[in-house]
Amino acid sequence: MAWYLILPAVFVVFLVIGFPLCQVIVYSFMKIKLDGVTPPSFVGIDNYLFIFSDSDFWHAVWVTLIFSFFSVTIEGILGLTVALVANSKFKGRTLLRVAVLIPWAIPTVVSSQIWRWMFNDIYGVVNIILANLHIIPHKLAWLSTPATALPVIIAVDVWKTTPFMSLLLLAGLQLIPGDLYEAASIDGASGIRKFFAITLPLVTPTLLVALIFRTLDALRVFDIFYIMVGGQGNMATVATYNQQQLIQFLDAGVGSATSLTILIFIMIFVVIYTRFSKTSFE
């Protein structure tokens, strides 16, 4: 019986991803250039060897990992905080719940440009405000060097994606029965005690699902980097590296090998997550 319910969804998976996945796997072992001239040929693991010996690739991996670690962690903490606040009864609750979703609602291509504009070194709002308040000595060129650009990008991503976390966690908070809190209150537990003993353990399963998907997205981050610091060699992520190989350099062989490598990296992360959290699916 269960299989009848599962099958439609699984069928859709195969339908949509089947062909592209096969193409990626096959191309990754071939020399294929999309210039319409070079004939395709089988080259075994050459493409993979190329990537693993490319320092640009490893640098991109490093940038991606730093970005993912910080943005997912901060988003998790902030997301939970916002969810808890949004869950409470207070005046203006509706406004808050709508407001926290707005960053996620604005198209990424537009919000990345807005932020890029806001961080401009001459007419950017951030510089104007910070300099006028004398928090910084003079206007900074935030996006020109990785030391300042990476934190800015992480901050923008946190702004944009915390709504995702907080909405999921808010729904997760609903799964916690209210009578548990009532019982704890009767027993004289403080707010903090209630949080650590009831809320946190019971929201953890939802938190984990949210973290998995956030990490998947963070490891494949593209738009934000491309728009705000695109092209700078030391600010590439694995996804922008992939795009560069595949589209700009017309190298479908190396591009596909990169994609498959990214896929395997991500799979490793997911397995680590589920093992670490001892999630059982039964």
Partner 1 sequence: MKDPDNDKSPVLRILFYLLVAVILVFNLFPFVYALLSSFRPSNDLFSTDLWPKALGLDHYQAVFKDARFVGSLINSVIVAGSTVLISLALGSLCAYALGRLPFRFKAPVLYLVLTMTMFPQISVLSGLFVMLKNLGLFNTRQGLVVTYLIFTMPFTIWVMTQYFRSLPKELEEAAYVDGASPLTVFWQILLPLTMPGLISTGLLAFIAAWNEFLFALTFTVTDTMKTVPVVISQFSGTSAFEQPWGSIMAASMVVTIPLIILVMIFQYRIVAGLTAGAVKG
Partner 2 sequence: MRSQSHSLRRNALRWFGSLVVASLITPTVFGATIRFAGDSDVGEGGRWTRAAAEEWAQKTGNKVEYISRPNDASATLQLFQQYWAAKSSDVDIFMVDVIWQGILAPHAVDLKKYYKEDEIKTFFPTIIKNNTVGGKLVSIPWFTDAGLLYYRTDLLEKYGYKEPPKTWEELTEMAKKIQDGERKAGKPDFQGFVFQGKASESVTCNAIEWIYSYGGGTIVEPDKKVTINNPKAIKALETAKSWVGTISPLGVTTYGEEDARNIWQAGNAAFMRNWPYAYALGQDPKSVISGKFDISVLPKGGTDGKNAACLGGWQLMISAYSKVPDAAADLVKYLTSPEEQKKHSIALSQLPTLPALYSDPDVLAKAPFFKNILPVLENAVARPSTVTGADYNQLSTSFFQNVNKVLSGGATAPEAVVAVEKVAKRIVR
Task: Give residues in contact with partner 2 (CB under 8 A).
Answer: 33-37, 120-123, 139-145, 229-234, 244, 247-250
Least separation, in Å, of the C-beta of 147 and partner 1? Answer: 23
- How far is it, in rounded angstroms, from Cα 160 to Cα 105? 9
Considering only residues 55-74, where is the footprint of partner 1 by CB under 8 A?
A: none
267 is an interface residue for partner 1 by CB under 8 A? yes
* CB of 147 or CB of 155, closer to partner 1: 155
Task: Give yes or no for residue 45 binding partner 1 (CB under 8 A).
Answer: no
- The verdict on 272 binding partner 1 (CB under 8 A) reads no
- Binding to partner 1 (CB under 8 A) within 184-213 occurs at 191, 205-206, 209, 212-213
Which residues lie closer than 8 Å to 268 by C-beta, 6 or more apart?
Answer: none
CB atoms near residue 40 (< 10 Å):
13
The entry of partner 1, partner 2, none near residue 72 (CB within 5 to 8 angstroms by kind) is: none
Can residue 84 be called a binding residue for partner 1 (CB under 8 A)? yes
Nearer to partner 2, 232 or 274 (CB): 232
Instruction: Confirm or reject binding of residue 171 to partner 1 (CB under 8 A).
Output: yes
Residue among 139 and 194 whose Cβ is closer to partner 2: 139
Least Cβ distance, residue 106 to partner 2 (angstroms): 18
- CB-based contacts of 44, cutoff 8 Å, min separation 6: 29
Q: Which residue's CB is nearer to partner 1, number 147 or number 222?
A: 222
Site string for partner 1, 120-139 (x = CB under 8 A): --xx-x--xx----------
Which residue among 60, 70, 243, 253 contacts partner 1 (CB under 8 A)?
Answer: 243
Could you say whether residue 263 binds partner 1 (CB under 8 A)? yes
Q: If binding is defined by CB under 8 A, does position 147 make contact with partner 1?
A: no
CB of 38 or CB of 147, closer to partner 1? 38
Q: Which of 95, 133, 147, 186 binds partner 1 (CB under 8 A)?
A: 95
